[in-house]
């Protein structure tokens, strides 16, 4: 029986080398370990052997059975891998770009503007802060002099979350967090993404980017605010642009202003971006309200400050002459490649 077992093992190995399909492997499985297979036949013969030979023969036949099943399983895995590789090769598509057309990735225009602004403000002594996009009502509203029943909350078109928090409607919350950590005098900016349930048009998006800024020190006046804003715009546009400062209401500043820029899309003649008024609201600003300073544990009788909120997406619009702000969030590579320089 030992010779027969060795012969079966050798024959199976040779047969497996020539099997090229799962159906052929199934035929071999039946031939060796099926109901009437060669290994099965050996197992049936064990009962007719003398008792003194049966134990050793049983060990050898069962060993053969285990080896046959192992070899069949290994070959099945090999055939499956080969079939998968053949399928992949048949359906292979080169998704890489042609080397002649390969383009190096570039910064989004809004990110580019943000980095430039950070460099400008850091050169003027400002510190760059960050804050969470999911905020509490305290940091987004209450600490900014907007209590629960204040009508200004309706102006924000806020996305509220089930847990009672909200998506921040402005990056002014970064200022509040900054005041809790820093002591005057200080100058800070807080760039980031904001969210409002806006009616979308050429100059409004539900997701947009802002850069809030604040300076707190003794004897800060409106003149300081105007100086920093003009310095900022001259760096971004590389020249003096026509701006106007008009009264505006914001609960967290008093007095409050709207800094508008002459529309660079239509040169002030009127277009959808400026709502045919010739001016684009760019930079709400003002002197920090005493209640906001108190919320940051700063004594308003000793310190004063200014704050501003710059719309980065609108600034990109003006700088590059983009007629619709929605292009910036469209993820259209044809649009974004224009800014690869």
Per-residue pLDDT tens over the stretch 176-189: 999 989 999 999 99
Q: Is residue 218 part of a domain?
A: yes
Which residues in 256-288 are b (16+ Cβ under 10 Å) and which e?
bbbbbbbbbbbebeebebbeeebbbbbbbbbbb
Half-sphere exposure at residue 98, Cβ-oriented, CA atoms within 13 angstroms: 2
| Residue bearing the bigger pLDDT, 217 or 72 | 217
pLDDT, residue 100, reads 58
Is residue 91 over pLDDT 90?
no
Looking at the structure, tell me whether residues 36 and 168 fall in a common domain.
no
As a residue count, the chain comes to: 341
Looking at the structure, tell me whether residues 159 and 86 fall in a common domain.
no
Which of 36, 62, 90 is a domain's end point? 90
Q: Is residue 310 part of a domain?
A: yes
Question: Above pLDDT 90, what percent of the chain?
Answer: 32
134 near 192, Cβ under 8 Å? no
Looking at the structure, tell me whether residues 187 and 53 fall in a common domain.
no
Is residue 200 over pLDDT 80?
no
At 290, the pLDDT band (50, 70, 90 cuts) reads very high
Looking at the structure, tell me whether residues 18 and 73 fall in a common domain.
yes
User: Which range of residues forms the domain containing residue 195?
Assistant: 109-339
Looking at the structure, tell me whether residues 29 and 136 fall in a common domain.
no
Q: What is the mean pLDDT of the chain?
A: 85
Q: Is residue 99 part of a domain?
A: no
- Counted domains in the chain: 2
pLDDT, residue 250, reads 86
Cα 255 from Cα 248, distance rounded (Å):
8
| Residue bearing the bigger pLDDT, 340 or 118 | 118
Is residue 286 over pLDDT 90?
yes
Looking at the structure, tell me whether residues 156 and 85 fall in a common domain.
no
Q: Is residue 95 part of a domain?
A: no
pLDDT, residue 155, reads 66
Q: Is residue 102 part of a domain?
A: no
Looking at the structure, tell me whether residues 136 and 237 fall in a common domain.
yes
pLDDT, residue 97, reads 61
Lowest mean per-residue pLDDT among 101-105, 141-145, 228-232: 101-105
- β-partners of residue 320 are none
pLDDT, residue 211, reads 93
Each residue of 7-19: pLDDT tens digit?
777 777 787 778 8
Task: Output DSSP code: residue 143.
Answer: G
Element (H, E) at 245: strand 243-247
Which of 62, 90, 118 is a domain's end point? 90
Which of 56, 90, 124 is a domain's end point? 90
Winning range, highest mean pLDDT, from 16-25, 154-163, 253-262, 289-298: 289-298
Each residue of 219-259: pLDDT tens digit?
999 999 988 888 888 887 777 777 888 898 888 999 999 88
Sign of the Cα pseudo-torsion (163, 169, 172, 174, in order): positive
Nearest Cα neighbor of 193 from 317, 311, 18 is 311
Is residue 215 over pLDDT 70?
yes
Cα 208 from Cα 273, distance rounded (Å):
16
Lowest mean per-residue pLDDT among 19-23, 35-39, 210-214, 317-321: 35-39
Looking at the structure, tell me whether residues 208 and 65 fall in a common domain.
no
Looking at the structure, tell me whether residues 55 and 155 fall in a common domain.
no
Q: Is residue 115 part of a domain?
A: yes
Give mean pLDDT, residues 39-58.
Answer: 74
Residue partners of 326: CB distance under 8 A and separation at least 6: 200, 202, 205
pLDDT, residue 192, reads 94
Kindly write down the DSSP assignment for every residue of 26-54, as one continuous string: HHHHHHHHSTT-HHHHHHHHGGGS-HHHH
Looking at the structure, tell me whether residues 17 and 145 fall in a common domain.
no
CATH of the domain at 303: 3.30.930.10
Q: Is residue 143 part of a domain?
A: yes
Helices of type H across the chain = 2-18, 22-33, 38-45, 51-90, 109-123, 137-140, 152-156, 172-181, 222-237, 290-295, 312-320, 333-336
Cα 250 from Cα 254, distance rounded (Å):
8
The model scores a pTM over 0.85:
no
pLDDT, residue 226, reads 86
Lowest mean per-residue pLDDT among 59-63, 175-179, 267-271: 59-63
Looking at the structure, tell me whether residues 80 and 118 fall in a common domain.
no
What are the Cα distances from residue 321, in Å, to 11, 232, 271, 313? 79, 19, 12, 12
Q: Is residue 98 part of a domain?
A: no
Cis peptide before 274 (omega within 30 of 0): no
Q: Is 191 helix (H, G, I), strand (E, B) or coil?
A: strand
Give mean pLDDT, residues 172-179.
Answer: 92
Looking at the structure, tell me whether residues 145 and 13 fall in a common domain.
no
pLDDT, residue 103, reads 62
């Amino acid at each position: 029986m030992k010779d027969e077992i060795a012969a079966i093992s050798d024959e199976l190995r040779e047969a497996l080398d020539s099997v090229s399909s799962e159906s052929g492997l199934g035929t071999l499985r039946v031939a060796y370990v099926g109901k009437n297979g060669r290994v099965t036949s050996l197992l049936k013969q064990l009962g007719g052997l003398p008792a003194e030979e049966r134990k050793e023969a049983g060990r050898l036949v069962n060993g053969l059975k285990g080896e046959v099943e192992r070899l069949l399983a290994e070959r099945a895995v090999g055939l499956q891998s080969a079939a998968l590789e053949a399928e992949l090769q048949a359906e292979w598509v080169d998704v890489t770009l042609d080397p002649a057309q390969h383009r190096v990735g570039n910064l989004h225009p809004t990110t580019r503007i943000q980095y430039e602004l950070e460099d400008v403000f850091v050169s003027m002594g400002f510190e760059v802060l960050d804050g969470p996009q999911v905020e509490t009502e305290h940091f987004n509203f209450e600490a900014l002099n907007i209590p629960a029943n204040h009508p200004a909350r309706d102006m924000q078109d806020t996305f509220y979350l089930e847990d009672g928090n909200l998506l921040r409607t402005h990056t002014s919350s970064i200022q509040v967090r900054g005041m809790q950590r820093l002591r005057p005098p200080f100058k800070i900016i807080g760039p980031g993404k904001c969210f409002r349930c806006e009616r979308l048009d050429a100059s409004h998006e539900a997701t947009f980017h802002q850069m809030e800024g604040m300076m707190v020190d003794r004897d800060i006046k409106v003149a300081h605010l105007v100086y920093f804003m003009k310095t900022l715009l001259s760096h971004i546009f590389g020249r003096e642009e026509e701006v106007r400062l008009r009264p505006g209401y914001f609960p967290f500043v008093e007095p409050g202003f709207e800094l508008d820029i002459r529309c660079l899309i239509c040169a002030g003649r009127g277009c959808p971006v400026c709502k045919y008024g010739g001016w684009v609201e760019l930079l709400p600003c003002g002197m920090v309200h005493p209640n906001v300073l108190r919320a940051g544990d700063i004594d308003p009788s000793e310190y004063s400050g200014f704050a501003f909120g710059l719309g980065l997406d609108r600034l990109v619009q003006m700088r590059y002459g983009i007629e619709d702000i929605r292009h910036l969030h469209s993820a259209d590579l044809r649009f974004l490649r224009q800014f690869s320089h």
